[in-house]
Amino acid sequence: MSFLQFSNLTKTYPGVKALSGISFDVRKGAVHGLMGENGAGKSTLIRILSGDQHANEGEIRIDGDVQAYGSSRDAFEHGVIVIHQELQLVPELTVAENLYLGRFPAKAGVVASAKMFADVTEKLKNAGIDIDPRQKVKALSIGERQMVEIAKAVMLDARVIALDEPTSSLSSRESEILFTLIDRLRAEGKVILYVSHRLDEVFRLCDSLTVLRDGKLAAHHETLQGVTRDQIVAEMVGREINDIWGWRGREAGAVRLKVENVSGERLPEPASFDVRAGEIVGFFGLIGAGRSELMRLVFGADPQFSGATSIDGAQVKAGNPRQAIRSGIVLCSEDRKHDGILQGRSIEENINVSSRRHYSPFGLLDRKREVEVAETFIKRLKVRTPSRKQDIVNLSGGNQQKVILGRWLAEQGVKVLIVDEPTRGIDVGAKSEIYEILYELAESGMGIVVVSSELPEVMGICDRILVMCAGKIAAGLNRDQFEENAILAAALPDVKQPTEIAY
Amino acid sequence: MTNQLKKILLGDQGIVLIFIVAFTIVALLVPNFLTERNMLGLLQSVVTVGIVACTMMFCLAARDFDLSVGSTAAFTGMVAVMASNTTGSILVGIGAALLCGAFVGFVNGFVIAKFRINALITTLATMQIVRGLALISSDGRAIGINDPGFYQLALSKLFGIPTPVWILAGLFVIFGFVLNRTVFGKNTLAIGGNPEASRLAGVNVDKTRIWIFALQGVVCAVAGILLASRITSGQPNAAVGLELSVISACVLGGVSLAGGRATMAGVIVGVMIMGIAENVMNLMNIPAFYQYIVRGLILLLAVMLDNLRSSAFIRR
Amino acid sequence: MTNQLKKILLGDQGIVLIFIVAFTIVALLVPNFLTERNMLGLLQSVVTVGIVACTMMFCLAARDFDLSVGSTAAFTGMVAVMASNTTGSILVGIGAALLCGAFVGFVNGFVIAKFRINALITTLATMQIVRGLALISSDGRAIGINDPGFYQLALSKLFGIPTPVWILAGLFVIFGFVLNRTVFGKNTLAIGGNPEASRLAGVNVDKTRIWIFALQGVVCAVAGILLASRITSGQPNAAVGLELSVISACVLGGVSLAGGRATMAGVIVGVMIMGIAENVMNLMNIPAFYQYIVRGLILLLAVMLDNLRSSAFIRR
Amino acid sequence: PASAQDAKIGFIVKQPEEPWFQDEWKFADQAAKEKGFTLVKIGAEDGEKLMSAIDNLGAQGAQGFVVCTPDVKLGPGIVAKAAANNLKMMTVDDRLVDAAGKPLEDVPHMGISATKIGEAVGQGIVDEMKARGWKPEEVGAIRVSYDQLPTAVDRVEGAISVLKANGFKAENIFPAPQAKTDTEAALNAATVVLNAHAGIKKWVAFGLNDEAVLGAVRATESVGIPADGVIGVGIGGADSAINEFKKPTATGFVGTVIISPKRHGYETATNMYEWVANGKQPEKLTLTSGALAKRDTFQQVRKELGIE
Ligand SMILES: Nc1ncnc2c1ncn2[C@@H]1O[C@H](COP(=O)(O)OP(=O)(O)OP(=O)(O)O)[C@@H](O)[C@H]1O
Ligand SMILES: Nc1ncnc2c1ncn2[C@@H]1O[C@H](COP(=O)(O)OP(=O)(O)OP(=O)(O)O)[C@@H](O)[C@H]1O
Ligand SMILES: [Mg+2]
Ligand SMILES: [Mg+2]
């Protein structure tokens, strides 16, 4: 019996047809997957379901009733809860307040704080999420914030729950918490729409699946029995991809990046590691393990308390990203919204912002060159956009991520490239393109650091993995030592004995 | 536990600490400052700014901006005087002024929230329009209060403290409570902190913003009525430039112009710092032209100290 | 291709369209408006606001704020007059004024960028300090220009158009170029779009901000010198409230107070709309009190139209 | 010479919101109605607006204007601007001066000097003190000052000169600088002075205008000094001052020096009209005088000045 029905949904933005005539049904008590390339229209569909955007044509029915709500609040009152792709939290409020935002428990307008905190503590515990409800959200790491978002979905009583890439910066352990929660919800008979670029998850979780391509319905599977990964990939990207990782070996050269005893405010324990020329080093860990913070310290985004970083033997000035870039080290941050995109500026400007110093004589722009650079990376990374002049905030999440990556790939004279969750929200097709680029860069002698919460990814593309746990580098493994359980074990805080760091 | 202590001293409310230190120094150094009479005079002199700062705090916390407060205070003061003169009832006058204030505020809020027009431009426009109304309705002249009972609003005292000061204190308590303990206050902070997230979480952003501006209007009317009572007439030129004083007091008190951050204690301190600065400059007979310079330096010093304090905290 | 056309008409520069329509209507309806004399008068009347708007655009685009422009213009005007009176050389006077302007701007920028102090408070402080300096240096009275050659700055004409208007046009061209064609301009917009991201992308945020304020100071000095020449004296009370006019002109011209968005064409139109409004109200003999209301309504109307236009475009 | 129908005359004032200038305009309007010419009223708060206003008049085809300038030092600039626009001009209230500070004698002027008004205020205070039998040494004076405005300085200095000449000691005169020119600012500034000198029981107050003095009087009331211990004399005869006289009981606001807006408005406009229409040049200098109005005399004074 179909409980949630989409019929003929169509949505256009200026210059973009985001959805055209999408129709499909979802059963009660089913987890329904939604997949598709970046910019295929998944988030748009979800945004329409949430009442945040309005379709140009078509309708949504829940339990047979046409939904004609005009805002997120209406949608909520109709039993629809949506967790959006971009984190939607208020940094200055506490975790509990964020969870209850829009529906505070109150008597005569006065918030019943004690009840609220008790309630949240209890529910977070039940859900297996370990976050202090009295903490302000601004003090949480990205991954922790994502867990807060997830808590939102399970805390409230809803008929339909839509999750837009909820695991994009979670490692498998935290994802597992989410999956347990989803299983529970499924058992309660809720309808769940689940957007993800991770195929494993889709197979682990979903009962049925819809694939979108270019805003159109590319495939609909009532059941996933007998459906193969390759088939879905082909439906999504219109071609076959045999091995997304496509790893190929190369000789590591001399040490390029040497990090010694670096510590900072959020990373009290000094950390040391190095990266050789032509080497791709992966950093794995659970959320809050301190990987991002370590990279920010190395790059100089945050002030260092101690330690030193050198590239090819030359000391890098600490605490100054500008100097770091000039000495050949760049960081593509995990938080694209806060640290990446220049709001209100075009794709072209977002790509050129750093690299243009190489082709701007006397501070004057070389507009031809800027267009060239922008077009090159739009093409190479398959950014889906009507024009390079498009405001970056109008792009889909994955496409924004590609533009930010493009900014750093366009940079010249890079010796060490650090990418933090580089494929966060990026589709399978584009992922393999990005890996290919990383290999090429490594082959040209660059040292590369990949921070990722996706274990298959680090295992798939790295030559060496460093595992971080509770702010310390807990283990190091060479490619021939890669083994899922060993890596996970090292990442877990209760395993006290660090394995011998390789080489 | 020392950490806990540090947090209180150096945390959000740190400007309070600076204030206490500064107050002590001033009290010791400036003769005639810490007399009962001067303290009462000081408190009365900050009534207008203080009252309006209560709601301006909400306005700024929600990432909005209101330039029309001075005009509204002047206009509602006129309305109170005119209405009570015509009807012979002070209560009717006060009621009319509060209504007019609420109306101006509501219009501001409605235009800003519903038509999505920049708050700066909207309130700049209403600032002009309302000032024009005040001037037109009185033909540009001050209007005297007929019923001496009206003066009593400002002159009467309770336990030796003038009524306006009690009203100010009451508003501080009320709005402090509203900001921290009510859904309305939390929603205000949420809207300022992340408008998009608040909207998606189902906060009625438009309604909240309209309410904030309407409240601001009412509170301006309270200030306007007290001001009229204090100067025993409605003056169309009153309270010019009030907006800048109020906004600076708020920002000085740690309210972020980028929204999402505000504390009542901070705002009170901001208001008091500005009031004390004026008071002390006059007590010390600083010549008018040098007062400009001193005023500027005090502003700078206050925020710099606050900054030093908080960055020292962060580095730890 | 009609799409292309639509984009131009309704895109970023749409306010230009509104302006052209409004201008035509005014020219047809208001007698004496479209005469050469009135046009020249109009242009001269917007020189001060227009000049300062050039750099205020950068300031706002970088998410900053500058309230000190009025004081700086007055102060530098005084400096120009005093220095040229004492030395007998107009050039020395101009040089001294430009230097003082740059210095004030640099201090603003330095304090804001390096000590991370709120721009509103900082420039409010310098606004007071600089106004105080202007008053002190002249004892509060205007200082007449000794050398009549100084008047020529404002009175002289080139091809029938007064020099200040040429200077204004020149600055429009220069700053339009700087905004769109230089790294400095792009960095300004990037900082406004996302200061943290810009820092991490290697933009020298502090330096850029300091430069913006220093430039703003120099440009205020240009405005101050021309103003002094126009009113044949240095006046410590000149240009009070200039900051609000300039900021409104910019915002009217589509510069976002949240940073990251600005176009020179928009700012020019914003400046012209404000100038035309004043001009037409005087041509039409609108009584002073009603001018307030009309001014407010025009402001509202202009942004509302701009809004309607852009939302109509989005809906399509 | 232009005929009445197309005679157009500008009347520019520095503070259009002030009741005084409103009155000047009102009387100028009356002249325009009687003579049948067009009057263009423009407010110009600073030098730049003034220059634009003159351009604007030129563009409208006016033949002449009357101006009360925001600053007398603008003299040469205004004269040049008027000439450039081919406009006849005369000044009212404030007389233009050149760079050296000498009055521009060529420009016809009607007015009263700021110092003179101040002296009238001082005299009013001194007379009242004598009537009440106060001794100068037991009295404090509040000088509500707004030194940013040169006229304001001249007015209060005028008052002080008379006070001193009548035995007032300089150290008993306390400045209360107001941050803005409204009543509230004066009130706050005066309160500080009163509190700082709590020992003094008798006070006199003077300032830039009625509003300033009213603020000082309100301050005495709020600190509990009875009305018979206060002598405030304002300037202007604005409605806020008249309101004081209409209050059921006398306040410390004893009097106000009224200047006649009728002569300043009506006569200057008429003179300018005669000049542009009939080529009859006005007098180079006409000085008017202020009159002190008190609670019992204000109606009569106003009638004499042609205001009622
Ligand atoms: N506000 C907007 N203005 C213009 N175009 C938009 C806007 N929002 C989305 N789009 C476009 O609509 C298309 C669909 O976007 P959507 O966000 O639904 O993609 P998605 O499938 O969620 O992609 P991703 O996997 O990257 O999140 C994209 O091409 C995007 O550029
Ligand atoms: N802005 C902040 N203020 C204070 N503490 C923070 C802040 N951001 C992160 N932290 C804390 O610093 C620790 C390290 O976070 P970091 O982001 O480096 O972890 P991570 O390994 O990259 O994991 P994630 O997947 O969550 O990003 C976390 O415990 C987090 O709570
Ligand atoms: Mg998406
Ligand atoms: Mg991370």
Rounded CA-CA distance B20/B39 in Å is: 15
Average pLDDT, chain D: 86
| Cα Rg, chain A, nearest whole Å | 23
CA distance B45 to chain D (A): 6
Residue B1, C-beta contacts closer than 8 angstroms, at least 6 positions apart: none
Minimum mean pLDDT range among A199-208, A271-280, B103-112, C151-160: C151-160
Rounded CA-CA distance C94/C99 in Å is: 9
A245 in a domain, yes or no?
Answer: no
What is the pLDDT, as a whole number, of residue A1?
62
Residue C225's pLDDT band (cuts 50, 70, 90)? very high
Nearest of A381, A449, A466 to residue A415 by alpha carbon: A449
One domain for residues A61 and A147: yes
Taking only the tens place, the pLDDT of each residue in D158-176 is 999 999 999 888 889 998 8
Q: Reply yes or no on whether the pLDDT at B311 is more than 50.
A: yes
A242 in a domain, yes or no?
Answer: no
User: Taking ligand 3, which is a single-atom ion, which protein residues have CB atoms under 5 Å away?
Assistant: A 43, 85, 396-397
Set of chain D residues whose Cβ sits within 8 Å of the Cβ of C140: 147-150, 153
Taking only the tens place, the pLDDT of each residue in A320-330 is 899 999 999 99
Strands (DSSP E) along chain D, which ranges?
A: 8-13, 38-43, 64-67, 88-93, 109-111, 139-145, 173-177, 202-207, 230-235, 253-258, 285-287, 291-294
The answer to whether the CB of D143 falls within 8 A of the CB of D206 is yes
One domain for residues A29 and A144: yes
For every residue of A409-472, which 3-state class applies, written as one string?
HHCCCCCEEEEECCCCCCCHHHHHHHHHHHHHHHHCCCEEEEECCCHHHHHHHCCEEEEEECCE
The answer to whether the CB of D233 falls within 8 A of the CB of D256 is yes
Residue A207, C-beta contacts closer than 8 angstroms, at least 6 positions apart: A27, A30, A31, A32, A186, A223, A224
Nearest to B142 among D184, D192, D238 (CB): D238
Q: Reply yes or no on whether the pLDDT at B144 is more than 80.
A: yes
Chain D residues bordering chain B (beta-carbon distance below 8 Å):
17-19, 22, 145-148, 174-177, 179-184, 187-189, 191-196, 198, 211, 214-215, 218, 221-223, 238-240, 242-244, 246-249
One domain for residues A115 and A194: yes
Size (chain D), residues: 308
**Residue A325 structure tokens:** 């870039």
> C164 in helix, strand or coil?
helix
CATH number at residue A419: 3.40.50.300
Q: At what angle do helices C36-45 and C264-283 cross, to 10 degrees?
A: 120
Taking the Cβ of residue A102 and every Cβ of chain B, the question of whether any pair is shorter than 8 Å is answered with yes
A10 in a domain, yes or no?
Answer: yes
One domain for residues A403 and A433: no
Nearest of C297, C54, C314 to residue C167 by alpha carbon: C54
Residue D93's pLDDT band (cuts 50, 70, 90)? confident
Nearest of B299, B263, B283, B316 to residue B54 by alpha carbon: B263
| Cα Rg, chain C, nearest whole Å | 20
DSSP string, A31-52: EEEEEESTTSSHHHHHHHHTTS
A290 alpha carbon – ligand 2 mean position (Å): 6
CA distance C263 to chain D (A): 27
Taking the Cβ of residue C231 and every Cβ of chain B, the question of whether any pair is shorter than 8 Å is answered with no
Sign of CA dihedral B116, B117, B119, B123: negative
Size (chain C), residues: 316
Set of chain B residues whose Cβ sits within 8 Å of the Cβ of D140: none
Rounded CA-CA distance D97/D104 in Å is: 5
Residue D102, C-beta contacts closer than 8 angstroms, at least 6 positions apart: none
One domain for residues A113 and A219: yes
Taking the Cβ of residue C286 and every Cβ of chain B, the question of whether any pair is shorter than 8 Å is answered with no
* Residue A474 to residues A113, A469, A493, A497, C151, Cα–Cα distance (Å): 40, 6, 9, 8, 77
CA distance B97 to chain A (A): 27
Residue at B129: amino acid letter = I
Q: Give me the number of domains chain A comprises.
A: 3
* Residue D268 to residues A501, D6, D37, D90, D265, Cα–Cα distance (Å): 97, 19, 14, 8, 6
One domain for residues A27 and A119: yes
One domain for residues A375 and A434: no
The residues lining ligand 1, judged by C-beta closer than 6 Å to any ligand atom, are: A 13-14, 16, 18, 36, 38-44, 85, 384-385, 394-399, 425, 427
Percent helix, strand, coil in chain D, to 5, is: 50, 20, 30
Taking only the tens place, the pLDDT of each residue in D13-46 is 888 877 778 888 888 988 888 888 888 888 888 8
Residue C66's pLDDT band (cuts 50, 70, 90)? very high
Residue B10's pLDDT band (cuts 50, 70, 90)? low
B255 torsion bin: left (phi>0), alpha (psi -120 to 50), beta (else): beta
Q: Say how many CB pairs under 8 Å bridge C and D.
A: 120
A244 in a domain, yes or no?
Answer: no
A141 alpha carbon – ligand 2 mean position (Å): 4
Taking the Cβ of residue C68 and every Cβ of chain B, the question of whether any pair is shorter than 8 Å is answered with no
Rounded CA-CA distance A399/D196 in Å is: 69
What is the pLDDT, as a whole number, of residue D243?
82
Q: Which residue has a Cα nearest atom 6 of ligand 2?
A: A139
Residue at C23: amino acid letter = F
> D231 in helix, strand or coil?
strand
What is the pLDDT, as a whole number, of residue D1?
46
Rounded CA-CA distance B216/B210 in Å is: 10
Taking only the tens place, the pLDDT of each residue in B58-88 is 999 998 989 999 999 999 999 999 999 899 8
The answer to whether the CB of B117 falls within 8 A of the CB of B125 is no
Report the share of chain C in percent with pLDDT over 70.
92
| Cα Rg, chain B, nearest whole Å | 20
Set of chain D residues whose Cβ sits within 8 Å of the Cβ of C227: 47-48
Residue C281, C-beta contacts closer than 8 angstroms, at least 6 positions apart: C291, C294, C295
Nearest of C126, C57, A281, C236 to residue B300 by alpha carbon: C126
CA C67 to chain CA mean position, Å: 12
Walk me through the domains of chain C, giving residue ranges and CATH numbers: 15-20+34-308 (1.10.3470)
A203 in a domain, yes or no?
Answer: yes
Rounded CA-CA distance C34/C22 in Å is: 13
Domain range holding A357?
Answer: 337-412
Chains C and A share 3 or more Cβ pairs within 8 Å: yes
What is the pLDDT, as a whole number, of residue A53?
87
Average pLDDT, chain C: 86
Taking CB atoms and an 8 Å limit, are B193 and A93 in contact across chains?
yes
Alpha helices by DSSP H, B139-204: 152-155, 163-181, 183-193, 195-200
**Which residues in A48-61 are b (16+ Cβ under 10 Å) and which e?**
bbbbbbebeebebe
One domain for residues A163 and A293: no
Neighbours of D133 (CB within 10 A): 6
The answer to whether the CB of B80 falls within 8 A of the CB of B147 is no
A292 alpha carbon – ligand 2 mean position (Å): 7
Taking the Cβ of residue B194 and every Cβ of chain A, the question of whether any pair is shorter than 8 Å is answered with yes
Taking CB atoms and an 8 Å limit, are B300 and C111 in contact across chains?
yes
A164 alpha carbon – ligand 3 mean position (Å): 7
Report the share of chain C in percent with pLDDT over 90.
44
Strands (DSSP E) along chain B, which ranges?
A: 143-144, 157-158, 161-162, 233-234
The answer to whether the CB of A493 falls within 8 A of the CB of A469 is yes
The answer to whether the CB of A257 falls within 8 A of the CB of A328 is no
What is the pLDDT, as a whole number, of residue A319?
84
One domain for residues A487 and A391: no
CA distance B178 to chain C (A): 26
Nearest to A72 among B182, B190, B200 (CB): B200
Q: Tens-digit pLDDT profile for chain A (503 aa)?
A: 678 889 889 999 888 889 998 999 898 888 999 999 888 899 999 999 988 888 888 888 888 788 777 788 888 888 888 888 888 899 889 999 999 888 888 888 888 888 899 989 988 888 888 889 999 998 888 888 888 888 888 777 788 999 998 888 788 888 888 888 888 888 888 899 999 988 888 998 999 999 998 888 888 998 888 888 888 888 888 777 778 888 888 888 899 999 999 998 888 889 999 999 999 999 999 888 899 999 999 999 998 899 899 999 888 888 889 999 999 999 999 888 889 999 889 999 999 999 998 998 888 998 899 999 999 999 988 898 888 999 999 899 889 999 999 999 999 889 999 999 998 888 888 888 899 999 999 999 999 999 998 888 999 999 999 999 888 898 889 988 888 888 888 888 764 444 444 33
Taking the Cβ of residue C184 and every Cβ of chain A, the question of whether any pair is shorter than 8 Å is answered with yes
Question: How many alpha carbons fall within 13 Å on the CB side of residue B116?
Answer: 8
What is the pLDDT, as a whole number, of residue B6?
55
Complex prediction ipTM: 0.86
**Residue B167 structure tokens:** 């009203």
A77 in a domain, yes or no?
Answer: yes
Nearest to A88 among B184, B201, B315 (CB): B201
Ligand of minimum distance to the alpha carbon of A142 = 2
One domain for residues A79 and A222: yes
Taking the Cβ of residue B191 and every Cβ of chain C, the question of whether any pair is shorter than 8 Å is answered with no
Taking the Cβ of residue C141 and every Cβ of chain B, the question of whether any pair is shorter than 8 Å is answered with no
One domain for residues A40 and A74: yes
Average pLDDT, chain B: 87
Place of tokens 């919204």: A337
What is the pLDDT, as a whole number, of residue C183?
93
Rounded CA-CA distance B296/B300 in Å is: 6
Q: Reply yes or no on whether the pLDDT at C255 is more than 90.
A: no
Taking only the tens place, the pLDDT of each residue in C292-313 is 888 888 888 877 777 766 655 4
A247 in a domain, yes or no?
Answer: no
Nearest of B172, B165, B174, B184 to residue B266 by alpha carbon: B172
A383 alpha carbon – ligand 3 mean position (Å): 13
The answer to whether the CB of C165 falls within 8 A of the CB of C41 is no
Helix count (H) and strand count (E) of chain B?
Answer: 15, 4
* Residue C302 to residues B114, C246, C311, D189, Cα–Cα distance (Å): 16, 16, 14, 41
Choosing from A211, A237, A263, the residue where a domain stops is A237
Q: Reply yes or no on whether the pLDDT at B223 is more than 90.
A: yes
| Mean pLDDT, rounded, for C238-252 | 87
Rounded to two decimals, the pTM is: 0.88
What is the pLDDT, as a whole number, of residue C5?
53
Q: Would strands A31-36 and A191-195 be described as parallel, antiparallel, or unpaired?
A: parallel
The answer to whether the CB of A83 falls within 8 A of the CB of A153 is yes
Ligand of minimum distance to the alpha carbon of A85 = 3
Nearest to D195 among B38, B238, B289 (CB): B38
The answer to whether the CB of A300 falls within 8 A of the CB of A264 is no
Chain D residues bordering chain C (beta-carbon distance below 8 Å):
16-17, 40-43, 45-53, 55-56, 58-61, 70-77, 80, 84-85, 97-101, 147-150, 153
CA distance C204 to chain A (A): 7
Minimum mean pLDDT range among A107-116, A313-322, B235-244, C144-153: C144-153
Taking the Cβ of residue C212 and every Cβ of chain B, the question of whether any pair is shorter than 8 Å is answered with no
Which atom of ligand 2 lies at the shortest distance from residue A169's CA? 25
One domain for residues A47 and A175: yes
A243 in a domain, yes or no?
Answer: no
The answer to whether the CB of C282 falls within 8 A of the CB of D56 is yes
Burial of residue D88 (CB within 10 Å: 0-12, 13-18, 19+) is: buried
Q: Which residue has a Cα nearest atom 4 of ligand 2?
A: A139
Give, in degrees to the nearest 5, the angle at Cα A9 between A6 and A12: 155
Choosing from A202, A237, A272, the residue where a domain stops is A237
Nearest to B292 among C67, C131, C288 (CB): C131
What is the pLDDT, as a whole number, of residue A503?
36
Residue B262 — φ and ψ, nearest 5°? -165, 140
Residue of D nearest to B226 (CA): D184
| Mean pLDDT, rounded, for B269-298 | 86
Choosing from A190, A212, A237, the residue where a domain stops is A237
Q: Ligand 2 pocket: which of A138, A172, A293, A451 to mutate (most atoms <8 Å of CB)?
A: A293
Rounded CA-CA distance D89/D58 in Å is: 12
The residues lining ligand 2, judged by C-beta closer than 6 Å to any ligand atom, are: A 138-144, 169, 266, 285, 287-293, 334, 453
